[in-house]
Amino acid sequence: MTSTHISDLAAILGREDAVLVDPQMVERLSKDFYWYSPVLKILLEDKRAEAVVQPRSREEIQNVLRYCFDKGIPVTTRGSGTGNYGQAVPLDGGVVIDLAPMDRILTIEPSGVAVCEPGARLIAIENEARKVGWELRCYPSTYVKASIGGFLGGGSGGIGSITYGGLRDNQTVQGIELLTMEKEPRFIRFEGEEVHQILHSWGTNGIITEVRLALGPKRDWAQLVVAFASYDTAYTFAEKIANDAPTSKRLVTVFEWPIPSYFTPIQRFCPTRQSLVFFLVDDPALPDVVRRADLAGGTVAFSQPHTEPRKGPLLTDYTWNHTTLWALKTAPDLTYLQCGFNPDSARQQFRLLRERFGTDFLFHIEFVKNDRDRIIPAGLPIVRFKDEDYLNDMIDYCREIGVSVANPHVNQVEGGGRFRSDNIQLQAKYRYDPCGLLNPGKIATFSPEDTTAAQK
C-alpha cells in the first residue's frame, strides 16, 4: 500500500484517526491467539497488515470495500482478535478492518432474538438479554472480549452447548446481513439455512454487518466443582449429569489431573491428584446434583448458589479453550487438540490414547449436544508438543480409533474441521468475493482463475 492509499482511506472515512499506521498498533491489531499453536506461531509470526481502518457504520465499511476492490487491496476483518488459528491474521498485508467500534445492540426482540452490529461483545449481549428475561444460548469462554461477528466468523460453540448445541445448530443464528467484496459491494440478507454459507468462513466470503441471534430463556446459574479420586469416576459422574435431561445446565466439564494444577488462582478448589468436574446448573437443581455427587463418591470442592452480582471465581474462566491458556502459562511445551469422542466407546478411546501416548495426552472433556440431540464428550485435550510429526501422529491415531479432530494447528478453513462438505462456503466465496481479496489464503481450495468453480 502507498501513502496515497492511506490518505484516500482517511478521506473516505472523513477522519484521520480512522486509519491506523503506527507499527505497534498495526502489529497488535493484525494478531490473534495463533501462538497457542507452536506450528502456527512460526508460520504467522511475521504476518501483519499495512494499515488498520476503523469504520463506524455499514456504509463506511461499504466505502472502504469499494475503494479496496478498485485498488486490489486485500482486506481482513477483525472482531476482537481472540481466534486461535490465525484466522484474523492477514497473510498478504493490505488492510485490517477493525469492527470493534461497531458494537451496538440494536434491539432484543420480545420473542428472544438479539439484533446486533458485528462488533457487539458477547458479554454485552448477555447482560442486555438478561435484563429482559433472556440469555445467550452458547458462547465462548472469551465472551468478555469476543465479538458476535468474530464468533460467527470463527467460533463454534462453548458454554451452553450442552443444552443448545453448537453455534450452527438449532437455528441459533437466525439471520445475517453480509457485505460483498465486489466493484459495487452489496448488502445481502441470509435467513434460516442460508446462513451456513457464511458461518465459520473466517471472513473470506463477505463481511457480516448485522446479526440476528436467537436467545434462550434466562436462568440463574449455580457453580459447582466436584473432585474424584480417578478420572474414570469423574467422567462417569459428569456423563450421568450431562445426559440427565431434567437437570438444566450450561456447563459440564471434566479435567483429569494434573490439568487442575494449572489453575493457579483457584488452587484452593483443586485438591491434589484429583480429577475435577465443573458444572453450571440451574440454581434449584444444585442441591440434587450435590447429593448425587456425594453418592457417586465425589467431594464437593466448591459450591456457589446463584448470586447477583457474582462473587468469587467464575468457573468458565477455566473451561473450553481457557483451559489451554492456563496450561500454557505453566508449561509452554503444552498445546491442545479439539476432539469429538464417541459417546458409546469413549472409555475405550481414552484407554487406547493413554496406552499410546501416556500422559502426553491429558483429557479435558466438554460435554455438548450434537445436531441430532445426542450428548457427546467433545473436548480440548492438553497435549505435549515435541515436534510436528508427533502432533500429527496424535491426530492420525485419534482419527484411526474414531475420535474426530478439528485440527487447530492449520491456518485454512478447510483444515479446521468445520468446512462444509457440500462446499457452500466456497461457493459463496466465488459469488461474493470473486477476486479473492477477503482474508486471502485462508480458503485453500479457492482459485480466482477457476471460472467454473462456483458451480461445483
Ligand X SMILES: Cc1cc2nc3c(=O)[nH]c(=O)nc-3n(C[C@H](O)[C@H](O)[C@H](O)COP(=O)(O)OP(=O)(O)OC[C@H]3O[C@@H](n4cnc5c(N)ncnc54)[C@H](O)[C@@H]3O)c2cc1C
Among 74, 94, 155, 416, binds ligand X (CB under 6 A): 155
Report how far residue 180's alpha carbon sits from residue 155's, in angstroms, rounded to the nearest whole number: 21
- Write down the least CB distance from residue 324 to ligand X, Å: 7
Return the number of the residue (203 or 260) whose C-beta is nearest ligand X.
203
Alpha helices in 50-196 (DSSP H): 58-71, 122-131, 148-154, 161-164
325 binds ligand X (CB under 6 A): yes
Among 38, 74, 153, 216, binds ligand X (CB under 6 A): 153
32 binds ligand X (CB under 6 A): yes
Residue 374 corresponds to which cell in the numbers above?
445426542
- Write down the least CB distance from residue 456 to ligand X, Å: 23
With contact defined as beta carbons under 8 Å apart, do 1 and 93 qualify? yes
Site string (126-145) toward ligand X, x via CB under 6 A: --------------xxx---
Report how far residue 99's alpha carbon sits from residue 86's, in angstroms, rounded to the nearest whole number: 17
Mode of pairing for the β-strands spanning 75-78 and 51-53: unpaired
86 binds ligand X (CB under 6 A): no
Cell 496406552 locates to 355
The 10 Å Cβ neighbour count of residue 123 is 15
Among 38, 81, 185, 408, binds ligand X (CB under 6 A): 81
Binding part of the chain for ligand X, among 75-83, 185-193, 326-334, 388-396 by CB under 6 A, reads 75-83
Return the number of the residue (274 or 412) whose C-beta is nearest ligand X.
412
CA-wise closest residue to 44 among 89, 82, 79: 89
298 binds ligand X (CB under 6 A): no
202 binds ligand X (CB under 6 A): yes
Among 74, 90, 94, 157, binds ligand X (CB under 6 A): 157
Among 49, 52, 95, 99, binds ligand X (CB under 6 A): 99
Question: If residue 418 lies in a helix (H) or strand (E), which one and from where to where?
Answer: none
- Write down the least CB distance from residue 206 to ligand X, Å: 7
164 binds ligand X (CB under 6 A): no
Residues numbered 334 to 373 that lie near ligand X (CB under 6 A) are none
> Across the strands, what pairs with 68?
none
76 binds ligand X (CB under 6 A): yes
Among 54, 87, 163, 247, binds ligand X (CB under 6 A): 87
With contact defined as beta carbons under 8 Å apart, do 112 and 170 qualify? no
Report how far residue 430's alpha carbon sits from residue 161's, in angstroms, rounded to the nearest whole number: 32
Among 30, 37, 62, 80, binds ligand X (CB under 6 A): 80
Report how far residue 159's alpha carbon sits from residue 141's, in angstroms, rounded to the nearest whole number: 7
Mode of pairing for the β-strands spanning 221-228 and 207-217: unpaired
Cell 472515512 locates to 13
Binding site residues, ligand X, CB under 6 A: 32-33, 76-84, 87-88, 99, 118, 140-142, 146-147, 149-151, 153-158, 202-203, 207-208, 320-322, 325, 439
